[in-house]
Amino acid sequence: MTSDTPIIQVRDLSFSYNGQPALVNVSIDVPDKEFLAIIGPNGGGKSTLVKLILGLLEPDSGKILVRGRSPKKMAHCFGYVPQDVNINIHFPISVIDVILMGRLRHRGRGRINAEDRQKAMETVQLMGIAGFENRRIKDLSAGQRERVFIARALATDPDILILDEPTAGVDTSGKTELYHLLGKLNETKTIIVVSHDLMIVSSYVKSVACVNQTVHYHPGNEITEAMLDMGYHCPVELVAHGQPHRILKTHGDF
């Protein structure tokens, strides 16, 4: 593969749940070191597209390539933070133990060793949660917990980090801090974020994919009215400080 080859290639992809189309004839390229926001209405297929890219679902038709190979063969390239992280936050588990779970999942078996602990501590520093490693996960704020879950996904140093609604339940300042951290990570990794935080997203990402069964890819961080109309099929007002607010100009054609 050349340096110009996209890290992820999706071609003519379709997928249905029990005969109901979720995605239809989707094609998109994700360049290496991209910071891509996936936006669109609930039920439009955003999470389904992510799961197909990860190899967690199999397409009905079409294909997905990650560095030229099938997603399942390239699972080691991914770090994934789902929308509903499968951890009981009331279980008495520490921050460092949550992060070390990412190391065990990567190796599949065996015991935690010195290298695992070193890698875990590196992600603690990277995500700005040093000093929290022995605290229980339930004692953290929503924003702090999200950093821990991202640290767990980063524990194996993946090439691609995918996050599904990472700022759900996080306050405004926490969202800004988290996206700033993701921007720093994007210097060395491809980042894909599913999000409804349109105003914050537009300040940090490099490109936008609007998903509503089909996908429109926009190679820039501008979210236009035309894209929103295409993705949501209704006028969308962005809200800032309680006031309807249009922050992005309109293109003549996406």
Q: For residue 156, give the nearest of 109, 123, 114 by alpha carbon.
A: 123
pLDDT digits (tens, 9 = 90+) for 63-84: 999 999 999 999 999 999 998 7
Residue 251 lies in a domain: no
Residue 118 lies in a domain: yes
Residue 95 near residue 127 (C-beta atoms within 8 A): no
Residue 143 near residue 174 (C-beta atoms within 8 A): yes
Give the per-residue pLDDT at 142. Answer: 85
For residues 100-122, one letter each, b for 16 or more C-beta atoms within 10 angstroms of the residue's C-beta and e for the rest, the string is bbbbeebeeeeeeeeebeebbee
Whole-Å CA distances, 228 to 66, 87, 211, 252, 253: 28, 34, 10, 13, 12
Residue 38 lies in a domain: yes
Give the per-residue pLDDT at 203. Answer: 82
pTM of the predicted model as reported, rounded to 2 decimal places:
0.85
Number of folded domains that form the chain: 1
Q: Domain range for residue 118?
A: 8-245
pLDDT lower than 50: segments of the chain: 234-254
- Where do we find the tokens 């992820």? 8
Read off the CATH number of the domain in which 172 is found: 3.40.50.300
Q: For residue 28, give the nearest of 15, 13, 9, 14 by alpha carbon.
A: 9
Residue 2 lies in a domain: no
pLDDT digits (tens, 9 = 90+) for 97-146: 999 988 886 666 667 888 889 999 999 999 999 999 999 988 998 888 89
Residue 113 lies in a domain: yes
Q: What DSSP letter does each residue of 89-146 carry, written as one string?
A: TTS--BHHHHHHHHHHHHH-SS---HHHHHHHHHHHHHTT-TT-TTSBGGGS-HHHHH
Specify the amino acid at residue 49: L
Residue 3 lies in a domain: no
Residue 252 lies in a domain: no
The partner residues of 142 in beta bridges, in order of sequence, read none
Residue 253 lies in a domain: no
Q: Is 51 helix (H, G, I), strand (E, B) or coil?
A: helix
